[in-house]
Amino acid sequence: MSTPEQITDAVAYHGEGPCWSETWGGLRWVDMLAGDLLTLRADGGVDRLHVGDVAAFVRPRSRGGYVVGLERGLGLADAADEPATPLPEMWSDPGVRMNEGGCDPAGNLYAGSMPYDRTPGGARLYRITPAGDVSVVLPAVTTSNGIDFSPDGTRAYYNDTATGGTDVFDVTDGELVNRRLFHSADDGRADGLCVDSAGNVWVALNRVGRVRLYSPEAEILEEVELPVRLVTACTLGGEDGKDLFITTSREKLEDPEPQAGALFRLRVDVPGRPVLPYAG
């Protein structure tokens, strides 16, 4: 079992959503409930950019800048270092917040929500087109997490964390169809995920301090153990795409580990792919 290195202090209360993009200089992730975007500097320091009450996820835009998940909708920025301009809220219920997002090869953004009290079925997965049109893909999820696509665009992997595993969809004519269980999370809770250039799937297993690598056939290829329980998400990046970055949290822990909230890194064999940007 591999052990990653800690590369920052415990800088986040609830670190989430790591994303590598050269457009903002490398790795960016969120301190979600602080409403901050965090950017890793070359010297190992961390820059903060406050964007709202919640910063749920961040993705580059194909035209430059970024899209960020805010508490009840999205924000857009034209440059990497600018605060985002909020778009109209996607819902009004203060008991539901945005949680995670990712883009498909066509430049659509998939963004999912979660109830603060984790009411079963109280959230949705939305698709936002480059033109800004919003539709509901899944009408009843609990904790929407970790969506990414296979290198050929024919599969989408998705975690509704409360279900206890990772699901896979077929992508047909741009639609997500034939949802089915890809692999159980066993004793963990499937949180963030990413797909590498060979189609393998890295899944963060929250509460048990691990990240697991699956083949496209759902075989377990590797497990990574961390010194913290709340492992939240992972992404691939670095100059050669072989750095696996892992975010962690200390949210609501009465006795958090000293490293909880730090960023970790592990060198892996198979590189990732350039992040899919939002075309809006």
Question: Using 50, 70 and 90 to split pLDDT, how confident is the model at 13?
Answer: very high
Closest CA to 73 of 91, 57, 61: 91
Percentage of residues in the chain having pLDDT higher than 90: 96
In Å, how far are 23, 57, 66 from 26, measured between CA atoms?
Answer: 7, 15, 13
Active site residues: 191
pLDDT value, residue 51: 97
Instruction: Tell me the two tokens of residue 123.
Output: 């959230």
pLDDT value, residue 35: 98
Backbone angles phi, psi at 181, to 5 degrees: -70, 130
Distance between CA atoms of residues 267 and 21, nearest Å: 18
pLDDT value, residue 249: 98
Distance between CA atoms of residues 252 and 28, nearest Å: 23
Predicted confidence (pLDDT) per residue in 30-89, tens digit: 999 999 999 999 888 999 999 999 999 999 999 999 999 999 999 999 999 999 999 999
Predicted confidence (pLDDT) per residue in 86-133, tens digit: 999 999 999 999 999 999 999 999 999 999 999 999 999 999 999 999
| Residues whose CB is less than 8 angstroms from the CB of residue 9 and which lie 6 or more positions away in sequence, other chains included | 262
Predicted confidence (pLDDT) per residue in 125-184, tens digit: 999 999 999 999 999 999 999 899 999 999 999 999 999 899 999 999 999 999 999 999
User: What pairs with residue 166 in β-bridges?
Assistant: 183
Q: Is the pLDDT of residue 1 over 80?
A: no
Question: Using 50, 70 and 90 to split pLDDT, how confident is the model at 219?
Answer: very high
Average pLDDT over every residue of 227-250:
98
pLDDT value, residue 2: 79
pLDDT value, residue 47: 97
Instruction: Tell me the two tokens of residue 89.
Output: 């809220």
Q: Taking the CA atoms of 88, 276, 215 and 191 in sequence, report the sign of the dihedral they define.
A: negative
Instruction: Tell me the two tokens of residue 139.
Output: 């009408």
pLDDT value, residue 164: 87
pLDDT value, residue 3: 84
* End-to-end alpha carbon distance in the chain: 41
